[in-house]
Homo-oligomer: A and B are copies of this chain.
Amino acid sequence: MTGPRRAPEIFDATLELLAAKGYDGLTIEGVAERSGVNKTTIYRWWPSKAALLGAALTRARTLHFELPDTGSLRGDLEALTGAILGLLTTPPAAEIAMAALGAAMGSRELAAHARSFFADRLAREQPIFERAVARGELSPGADPMLMLDLLAGAVWLRVAFRGLPPEEGFAERAVATVLDGAGSSGAGA
């Protein structure tokens, strides 16, 4: 029910191989060999490479993070954006996250994992916005998901698609744009 006896070794081997060789280079046989388990044992518990990776990611604490609480919405969002940027650029989590999210485009199963991962994150990050509303920093009608998607999406796009290295002050500038706007006269337009 809970997986094979050496599940931890299998998960470790899965993530190590993913980080080292990417999703294409991640093979069941490779995981079996590295984890000292027989191939059939893996197939007994997970029907596919995607299912195995999904289980490994679920168990992994690699992609988890602490909720910031800096006392201001701006500080919280800057910390969050910086954390995402760090996650996507600091080994070994970066390779894992990039490969896994990239692979989610090619697998219904991993896509579902991605959806639930992002839904879970959104739920966990709600307190940031509730506190901001309580402080009067944010109107009650604001859309937290939109703000998070703008910030996290920009980080992803830069790191994954533009291949840009982490840039000093990026989090601050991105949060400033989302909070204050980029229009020349601000609220006056």
Within residues 70 to 104 of chain A, which ones have a CB less than 8 A from any CB in chain B? 73-74, 98-99, 101-104
Q: How distant is the Cα of A161 from the Cα of B179 in the complex, in angstroms? A: 23
Instruction: Let me know if A20 is at the binding interface, CB within 8 A.
Output: no
Partner of A146, one of B146, B163, B177: B177
Chain A interface mostly helix, strand, loop or mixed? Answer: helix
B182 & A142 in contact (Cβ 8 Å cutoff)? yes
Q: How distant is the Cα of A113 from the Cα of B161 in the complex, in angstroms? A: 9
Q: Which chain B residues border A111 with CB–CB below 8 Å? A: 163
Interface residues on A, range: 35 or more
A180 & B183 in contact (Cβ 8 Å cutoff)? yes
Q: Digitize A12-38: 1 where CB-to-B-CB distance is under 8 Å, 0 elsewhere.
A: 000000000011100000000000000
Q: Apart from A149-B162, A153-B153, A181-B187, list 9 A-B contacts with CB within 8 A.
A: A114-B163, A137-B183, A142-B187, A146-B174, A146-B182, A150-B177, A180-B183, A180-B187, A187-B187
What are 23 of the A-B contact pairs (CB < 8 Å)? A22-B106, A24-B106, A102-B104, A103-B106, A104-B161, A105-B160, A114-B161, A114-B163, A115-B162, A115-B163, A137-B183, A137-B189, A149-B153, A150-B150, A150-B154, A150-B177, A154-B154, A177-B178, A178-B181, A178-B182, A181-B187, A187-B187, A187-B189
Partner-B contacts on A (CB < 8 A): 22-24, 73-74, 98-99, 101-107, 111, 114-115, 118-119, 136-139, 142-143, 146-147, 149-158, 160-163, 173-174, 177-189
